Amino acid sequence: MCQKVTAQPRYVIFYNVKSFFVVTIRTPVQGVFCRSCADEKALRSTVITWLLGWWGFPWGIVYSTHAIINNLLGGSKPKDVNARLLSYQAYVFATQGKYDLARAVGADALDLSRSSKSTSLQILLVSLLQALDNGKPINRLQDTWALLSCGFYLQIALIVGAIVTTLNFLPPNLESSTQSSSATTTQPKSTASVKPAYVRPGLADNGTPFPANSGYVDGYPYTLTDGYSNITIDNTQNDFDVFIKLFSLDVEKPKPVRVIFIRAKEQFVIEKIRAGNYDVRYRNLYTGALFRSEPLQLQEFRTATGVRFSDVTLTLYKLRNGNAQTYTISEGEF
Ligand SMILES: [Zn+2]
């Protein structure tokens, strides 16, 4: 959000995707933007996704493709939210005596509220436009949100650049990439024989039995619950259970604020988290290995229409060929 006064702000959601071999994190970048700020956010999210999004299979690739296309097409602009945002703008302009502007913005809001089928808002807007009617036709605003902008071309240039780069590197890489993928498939057998056997504990580390179903584990802190943000932890790709701790990083010594058990092939949404900085640390209950995610920033802000918040998805993968080394943590950090 910038301080620029614009008649045509929009509430827009872009996505960036970062993968770290064992996790893929999809973060929405959302807010009320003017066109130039929106272009900048889209481009930044897309660059992050191009650089970091792909390195997880399969969700890194799926989410990255979705994010790049979504950002390229100008992000998602929820019609109902934008209809309310613009009708609020129209009222503000009307109270400031800027009647022509109020009528133009009000007409935009009415179009949006029609396509979002929000009838109560339509009634309000029609009566606002009637009150402001001076017999002259409404001087409609030029749409500054047209698809083809400089941000659009920059993102297209990125796609073309990536394709050209891929084609250049393809011939020498083709062989090695097939090799590494077959190595990946055989990997679990060889590691299983080398690794010391991990015996899964019957109890969580506070002595409480793990619940029968995915959910919070008794006897642990359950705090910072006065927020709106959610983190979805997706373990549906895996055939192992996980023991998850959500750590708050906003205190000198990071501490768990939610502790969760998630069964294999299931997912769990940690809800109502206060805005702030967190990371997710987890134990694979099949191998005993410990990991953590990169820091996650949860944001929350008020708009004319309500509270917007972060809705982050964290997808867990099987540990593959040594890649996860950097993200493993010690017992003391869990
Ligand atoms: Zn701006």
pTM of the predicted model over 0.95: no
Contact 246, 278 (CB under 8 A): yes
Residues of the chain with pLDDT under 50: 172-193, 321-326
Ligand 1 centre distance from Cα of residue 314 (Å): 30
Domain that holds residue 83: 79-132
Ligand 1 centre distance from Cα of residue 4 (Å): 5
Q: Both 228 and 288 in a single domain?
A: yes
Report the alpha-carbon distance of residue 105 to residue 112 in Å, rounded: 11
Report the alpha-carbon distance of residue 73 to residue 139 in Å, rounded: 27
Ligand 1 centre distance from Cα of residue 276 (Å): 24
Ligand 1 centre distance from Cα of residue 113 (Å): 24
Ligand 1 centre distance from Cα of residue 39 (Å): 9
Determine, yes or no, domain membership for 138: no
Ligand 1 centre distance from Cα of residue 30 (Å): 13
Overall number of domains in the chain: 3
pLDDT, tens digit, for every residue of 83-122? 999 999 999 999 999 999 999 999 999 999 998 878 899 9
pLDDT, tens digit, for every residue of 114-162? 988 788 999 999 999 999 999 999 989 888 887 777 788 888 888 888 7
Ligand 1 centre distance from Cα of residue 69 (Å): 22
Determine, yes or no, domain membership for 108: yes
pLDDT score, position 42 = 92
Report the alpha-carbon distance of residue 115 to residue 201 in Å, rounded: 55
What one-character-per-residue DSSP string does 66-130 give? HHHHHHHTT-B--HHHHHHHHHHHHHHHHHTT-HHHHHHHHHHHHHHHHHTT-HHHHHHHHHHHH
Neighbours of ion ligand 1 (CB under 5 A): 2, 4, 34, 37
Ligand 1 centre distance from Cα of residue 73 (Å): 18
Q: Under the phi-then-psi rule, with left for phi > 0, alpha for psi from -120 to 50, and beta for the rest, what region is 272?
A: left
Ligand 1 centre distance from Cα of residue 160 (Å): 28
Q: Residues 6 or more apart from 18 whose CB is under 8 A from it?
A: 24, 25, 27, 48, 49, 52, 53, 294
> How many degrees, rounded to 5, is the angle at CA 234 between CA 184 and CA 243?
90
Q: How many residues does the chain have?
A: 334
Ligand 1 centre distance from Cα of residue 12 (Å): 12
Q: Both 164 and 253 in a single domain?
A: no
Q: Both 93 and 180 in a single domain?
A: no
Strands (E) in the chain, as ranges, are 10-19, 23-33, 215-216, 229-234, 242-248, 255-262, 267-273, 276-284, 290-292, 296-298, 300-303, 306-309, 311-316
Ligand 1 centre distance from Cα of residue 2 (Å): 4
Determine, yes or no, domain membership for 281: yes
Ligand 1 centre distance from Cα of residue 144 (Å): 13
What are the structure tokens assigned to 94, written together?
A: 């009307």
Ligand 1 centre distance from Cα of residue 329 (Å): 40
pLDDT score, position 195 = 53
Ligand 1 centre distance from Cα of residue 92 (Å): 19
Determine, yes or no, domain membership for 165: yes
Q: Both 65 and 99 in a single domain?
A: no
pLDDT score, position 174 = 39
Q: Both 28 and 17 in a single domain?
A: yes
Determine, yes or no, domain membership for 140: no
SS3 288: coil
Determine, yes or no, domain membership for 126: yes
Mean pLDDT of the chain: 84
Ligand 1 centre distance from Cα of residue 3 (Å): 7
Q: Both 72 and 92 in a single domain?
A: no
